[in-house]
Each structure stands twice: as C-alpha cells, then as structure tokens.
Amino acid sequence: MNRTLWHDTEGNSIQAHGGMILQHDGTYYWFGENKNGSTSVAPSGDIRVDFIGISCYSSSDLHDWKNEGLVLIASDDPSSDLYKDRVCERPKVIYNKKTNRFVMWMHIDTADYTAARAGVAVSDAPTGPFTYLCSMAPNCSDCRDLTVFQDTDDTAYLIHSSDWNKTLRISQLTDDYTGLTGVCTTAFIEQEREAPAVFFHEGLYYMITSGCTGWNPNSALYGISGNIQTGWKLIDNPCCGKDGRMTFYGQSTYVFQKDGIFYLMLDHWNPADLKTSGYSFLPIHIDGTALTITMED
C-alpha cells in the first residue's frame, strides 16, 4: 500500500530509499539507500543512519521484489567516500550501450552535508557489484540531491542541486557516462528545488522537484522545458487532493514508465527511524501539458 514501508519476497522490509527504477531486458531493478541501521544525530545536528550500502531489488511486475543484496557496500577505510560516517544518497543508475556497463551516480557527503559531491561507480551487471570510481564537484559546483537522465539520443545528464540548494544544475555526461563533458546549464535559479525527477513525454521534458526542508515534507512543483539544458519554467504543484500540498507527506525521487504510464516514486521519510520510511508509486496524469497526481493505491 502506498505511503507504507513495503516488503520483499522474503518478507523483509525493502531498503531502497531515495531510489530509482531501471528497466533492463524485461526486468525492473530498484536501487536505493539501505537505511537498515539505527537513526542517530550527527554532531552537526543532522539526522542520519550510518552508511551501509546501496541495495538492489529485482521484479518482473513492480509488485514482487526480490532482494539482490547490496550492490555497493560501505568501506571500512576511514578515508573512503563510502566510510560509514559519510553520506551516500539518491543512487541513480543508467545503462551505457557503448560500454555495456551500468553507471551509478550518487550524492556523496560528510555527515554535516558540507562536502556536497557527486560519486560515480560502474558495474557489468545491474545486480552489481559496482566498483566505486571517485567523487567530484561537478563543473566546480557543489552537489547534493541528484538524478540522472538519459535523453532520446542517449546523451545523459547529471541533474543536481547546487549553490547550497538554491539552483539546479544540468551537467552533461561523457559518452561512457562516468565523467562530465564540461557542458553545464542551470534551471530554477534561486528557486531552492531539490529531489529532481525527470521524464520526457511528447516533445517536452518535465521535472518534478521538492522544496528544501530536509526530511520534512513540503510542496512539490513541476517544471517544463522543450530543451533538457535550458528554458525550464516552474508551472505548478502536480499533487492534488488531501495532503497534496505536502506531497502526501512524501518527497520525489524518480519517475519511471510502465505500459505508457509514468509513475512518480516518493519517499515518506520517518526521521525518527529512517529505516521505516515508506514508499509510494503514483501514476502521473497528463492532460495536455498539465500534470496531476493524486494519492491512490
């Protein structure tokens, strides 16, 4: 049921927060943060779970999810980006046809969220193991919430909050998707949007984002552009009905498509115990260029 914590085929809680769904060769793969540890308060005051790893679950129907285990695991080296006291959030995976590899981008940070970097890892299979390559400040900017988007011509982009979450940046990825070309543009300047989820439909790009209030819910907004790199305009809150102003007490993380319908994935964060945070997959109704999303099961 939407808004609740879901369980895998073995009856264990699905630990794939801040996640995404990749469809590959007829199987859906759900990647996300494993938060199955105790929630604590860092010296900075930030509420966190020590980094455990990135999970992967597979499914043929988006309903029954098999746990494929941790595909990227915390390191026991205190100098590593993946050490348990770091932040590793919002993993997003894309498949590169040319290299036949799966590339994962993620938000890498220190516990106080001041390092603000993008990390990248690669794997030969969606179920891992992913090899962590490095982290970077994309085009010399900070990077917190992020997504990746693969355009119709297979050019891919890292879309990330920057300038202390004030402005989103759209950074083009290299052909192998593991680096940046240096082509970088901005969207929603000074609008303080994060948790971007992007999709393309009938010639237009849509981006659903949240406001910046940490683990607490706020109003979603969607934007539209005819060009992934420029011309983004904020339109409205797509969420309607009860709790629509609070994104149904959730936060966007990704949009995936099944049978011609786009679905918004939400995290329903529980900052008192993050591992119990729930999920929703909600169909996006598109009327012309207007998006509406209601809470339904």
Quote the Cα angle for 238-244-249, to 5°.
115
**Using rule CB under 6 A, residue 8 touches ligand GAL:** no
| Interacting span for ligand GAL (CB under 6 A) from 76-84, 212-220, 239-247, 275-283 | 212-220
Q: Which helix (H) or strand (E) holds 89?
A: strand 87-96
| Cα distances (angstroms) measured from residue 243 to each of 83, 150, 213, 215, 238 | 37, 31, 16, 16, 12
Report the site for ligand GAL in 244-263 (rule: CB under 6 A). 251
Q: How far is the CB of 253 from ligand GAL (least distance, A)?
A: 8
**Using rule CB under 6 A, residue 265 touches ligand GAL:** no
Q: Choose, by CB under 6 A, the member of 120, 157, 194, 254 that binds ligand GAL.
A: 194
| 3-state SS record for 220-276 | CEEEEECCCCCCCEEEECCECCCCHHHHHHCEEEEEEEECCEEEEEEEECCCCCHHH
132 touches 74 (CB < 8 A): no
Residue nearest to ligand GAL (CB): 214
**Closest residue by Cα to residue 150 from 107, 213, 120, 105:** 105
**Closest residue by Cα to residue 70 from 146, 12, 128, 111:** 128
**Closest residue by Cα to residue 19 from 267, 283, 268, 196:** 267
| Interacting span for ligand GAL (CB under 6 A) from 172-180, 183-191, 207-215, 241-249 | 207-215
**Using rule CB under 6 A, residue 192 touches ligand GAL:** no
β-strand pairing of 87-96 with 101-109 = antiparallel
**Using rule CB under 6 A, residue 212 touches ligand GAL:** yes
Residue number with CB closer to ligand GAL (31 or 95): 31
Which residues fall within 8 angstroms of residue 59, CB to CB, at 6 or more apart?
A: 27, 28, 30, 65, 66
**Using rule CB under 6 A, residue 18 touches ligand GAL:** yes
Q: Convert residues 216-245 into a mask of x (bound to ligand GAL by CB under 6 A) and - (unbound).
A: ------------------------------
**Using rule CB under 6 A, residue 214 touches ligand GAL:** yes
Q: Convert residues 126-145 into a mask of x (bound to ligand GAL by CB under 6 A) and - (unbound).
A: -------------------x
Q: Convert residues 87-106 into a mask of x (bound to ligand GAL by CB under 6 A) and - (unbound).
A: --xx----------------
**Using rule CB under 6 A, residue 193 touches ligand GAL:** no
Report the site for ligand GAL in 31-60 (rule: CB under 6 A). 46
The residues that touch ligand GAL, with contacts defined as CB under 6 A, are: 18, 46, 89-90, 145, 194-195, 212, 214-215, 251
